[in-house]
A and B are shown apart, each in its own frame.
Chain A
Amino acid sequence: MKLNSIYSRGLQTGWAEACDGDKKKPILLCFHGFPDDPISWDAQIKYFAKKWHVVAPYSRGVGRSEPCSNQLQRYSPESAVLDAADILNHIDPNKEKDVYVMGHDLGVVLAWSWARSYESRTKGLIMIGGFNLEQMCRRLSWPRQHLKSWYIYMMQIPGFANTLLSALPKPMQKLATILGDRPEAYTTLSGAELAQGVYQYRAFSRKIKTALQPTKRKLKVPVLSIWGSEDAFLLPPTQTELNKDAHDVTIRVLTGNHWIHREKPELVNSLIEEFLNANRITKNTRESVTHRKTTNARKSIPKPSETTV
């Protein structure tokens, strides 16, 4: 796994990247959640690097991604998508590769935003233990979800959460372990990095008004949603809930916690691989689609002798 960075719209933006052998493979874009970093995808990066070009950006303010707390907009989903687009333009300047996007926790918001913005290029979306903003906003009427999401409200209080997380990073991360059964610390973010996550929550909450507007169209990208049954922070989705936002949704609930991709990496990897393979457009299928489109296009152009004046 390599760590890289570029300047995206004036700010350093970092990512982890892994690709064994041929770099012409399709891209698997992985957005991590809070309080995590791309190393949280360690098991997936190692597994999928053989057949995919895995790219896992750092969220704004974490690791190699420069913080920008005086511009809350840079923590919004749209900005994260633009940062990821800049990363992919660097890796794949000709935009030849298909993109499959995956998110965990808050990263699902980013993954969904990516899929909406680049729907034609995205061939599959995997959500692990997270929702898009529209779903989260619909859950404002669910009392049980409010109880589980108490920490989001805490983060909206200016100064409070930042101070707490900066001053007590280890106890706060330990709290996540106790509350959410987070697997053994594979990475420890610094206080400053933890505090950056608060800005993400604040930036997302400012999108509530937009998110509450009725969704105009459903996502056509196939979606796989994976959940741990013992998720301490989010209730698993219902089929009706996800069918409101996407045409083709498969939901899988496994015995496990919020960090199911860390708790059961082999099982989760096999389910992801099954989904990716089922939705992978290979060179052959792409050629046959192109041939069909080209042939149909040729048929529609009249021969010069047939044109009338």
Chain B
Amino acid sequence: MRGTNPLNPQSLKRQLSFQEKMQFDETAFNWQGGIDLEKMLLPLDKENLVFPGASKEQRIALSQLMGLIVNHTISEMEESLPKLKYHAWEKVLDLYPCAPEVRELGEMFFEEEAKHARVFGKYMHTFAEETGIDLKDLKALLPSAYGSQFQKRVIKNAERGGHAFWWVVTGVEEVSIEIFHAMSEHKQEIDPLFYQIHEKHMEEEARHANYAHLMLNLIAKSPYGKAIFRKKDLILGQLLPIPWVISELSKIKNVKQFAHKHPFFETLASTLPLMSKLSSIEILRRIHMSAPYVSWLINPTWRRYHHSPSRNLGSWRMPFPKHDAVDQGKRYSVR
């Protein structure tokens, strides 16, 4: 994916007008239709990498939890964007104000991200209402970015003039798009409302990924800013999410304390013994190398679109262990 050239006024104007035309309205979803609780939210891998031997009911519960985790992860990350707006965005534009359209596109980017966070949050509330689950209990299992070391490190990097934020954004946007591609192959098995939300989200994320690449292009072209950040921020952006994702995923172990409260939690709690069939090292290895959705986020070898901007910026790159499928140029596989 290549970002728009920030020094090309015509392509910026085209992108701006296209984006204005194609924005989705958050009230346009079929909220009244509710959620089909018999269906999956995210298709799972056939091999049951982390939960070997899971039954059909367990797989549906895991899939629904996974879907909520993905929603909440994206929502949390997108909700924390406004905190970074000044340091990661306004300061960059102030140093190298190449075109007013870049600022307008950026304002749109932040507004739309806030809109995504609201839509995903609303889905979670709807899920809790329809299943009768206490929202507080559900949130205890879901990732939280607010106040995390991950968020603090990204903010600190931005305050010092770094750009790890934009590398994180490109990663999240790219994975969001690939999540939808995985879903699109199993549309009939997925809750229609969840599918609809992710479809619209994917369309806007494609444009947002473009904007993140545009910002990285701008930073590469800017005569200002410290060279050290251009060198190291790619690695920082790749490494920072890893401990956060793993620690937040491990919250699934908390489900035991809610098992008596709702059948959904009970089913999830019944999958924990399946995980214990694997050693911790093996679980980490599988999560890192080939677990759908998760490995895409924490293993940069799955992401193809970092190469070009990293070359432009002269960024240092760290070798990460690769899955064979990456070498074969395969897309992310689910089942």
**Complex partner residue of A229 from B10, B94, B221, B224, CB under 8 angstroms:** B221
Q: Does A239 contact B (CB under 8 A)?
A: yes
Residue pairs across A and B with Cβ atoms less than 8 A apart, 29 shown, are A144-B223, A229-B7, A229-B98, A235-B223, A235-B224, A236-B96, A236-B98, A237-B97, A238-B94, A238-B96, A238-B97, A239-B93, A239-B95, A239-B97, A251-B97, A251-B98, A251-B99, A252-B9, A252-B98, A252-B99, A252-B100, A253-B7, A253-B97, A253-B99, A254-B7, A255-B7, A255-B8, A267-B9, A267-B10
Contacts of A240 in B (CB 8 A): 94
9 closest cross-chain pairs (CB), A and B: A253-B98, A239-B97, A251-B97, A239-B94, A255-B7, A238-B95, A254-B7, A235-B223, A252-B99
Contacts of B93 in A (CB 8 A): 239
Contacts of A254 in B (CB 8 A): 7-9
Contacts of B94 in A (CB 8 A): 238-240
> With A and B bound together, what is the CA distance between A240 and B5 in angstroms?
23
Within 8 A of B (CB), among A190-229: 229
Chain A proximity mask over B77-112: 1 for CB below 8 Å, otherwise 0: 000000000000000011111111000000000000
Contacts of A229 in B (CB 8 A): 7, 98, 221
| Chain A binding surface SS class | mixed
Contacts of B221 in A (CB 8 A): 229
| Chain B binding surface SS class | loop
Residues of B within 8 A of A (CB): 5, 7-10, 93-100, 221, 223-224
Nearest opposing residue in chain B for A249, CB measure:
B97
CB of A224 to closest CB in B, whole Å:
10
CB of A255 to closest CB in B, whole Å:
5
> With A and B bound together, what is the CA distance between A236 and B95 in angstroms?
9
Max count, chain A CB within 10 A of own CB: residue among B8, B10, B95:
B95
Contacts of A252 in B (CB 8 A): 9, 98-100
CB of A267 to closest CB in B, whole Å:
7
> With A and B bound together, what is the CA distance between A254 and B93 in angstroms?
15
Known: A229-B221, A238-B96. 10 other contacts (CB 8 A): A144-B223, A229-B7, A235-B223, A236-B98, A238-B95, A239-B97, A253-B96, A253-B97, A253-B99, A254-B8
The verdict on A271 contacting B9 (CB below 8 Å), with A238-B96, A251-B97, A253-B96 known, is yes
Nearest opposing residue in chain A for B222, CB measure:
A236
Nearest opposing residue in chain B for A235, CB measure:
B223
CB of A166 to closest CB in B, whole Å:
34
Contacts of A235 in B (CB 8 A): 223-224
> With A and B bound together, what is the CA distance between A267 and B224 in angstroms?
25
CB of A135 to closest CB in B, whole Å:
14
Q: Does A250 contact B (CB under 8 A)?
A: yes
Contacts of B96 in A (CB 8 A): 236, 238, 253
